[in-house]
Amino acid sequence: MVIFGQNSAVLITGANRGYGEAIAREFLSRLDKDSLLLLHSRNGTIPWLEKEEKKRCEVKILKGDLGEPLNWMELIKTTRKSYRSAFLISNAGTCGDIEKPLLETGHSLEELSNFWTSNVAQFIPLATAFKNTFSESKLHIVNITTLLSKVNVPKCSLYSASRRARNCLLEGNVDILEKDEYISGEYIDLFDVWQAEDKQKSTNEK
Q: Return the H-helix or E-strand segment holding 26.
A: helix 18-30
Average pLDDT of the chain is 76
Per the CB < 8 A criterion, the answer to whether 184 and 193 are in contact is: no
The CATH architecture to which 8-205 belongs is 3-Layer(aba) Sandwich (3.40)
Q: What is the pTM of this model?
A: 0.78
Per the CB < 8 A criterion, the answer to whether 140 and 170 are in contact is: no
Residues 158-187 have pLDDT tens digits of: 777 777 777 777 665 544 443 334 443 333
Q: Where are the domains positioned within the chain? A: 8-205
What's the average model confidence in pLDDT over 39-61?
90
Four-point Cα dihedral 32, 34, 40, 46, nearest 10: 50
Per the CB < 8 A criterion, the answer to whether 15 and 91 are in contact is: yes
As a whole number of angstroms, the distance between CA 127 and CA 133 comes to: 10
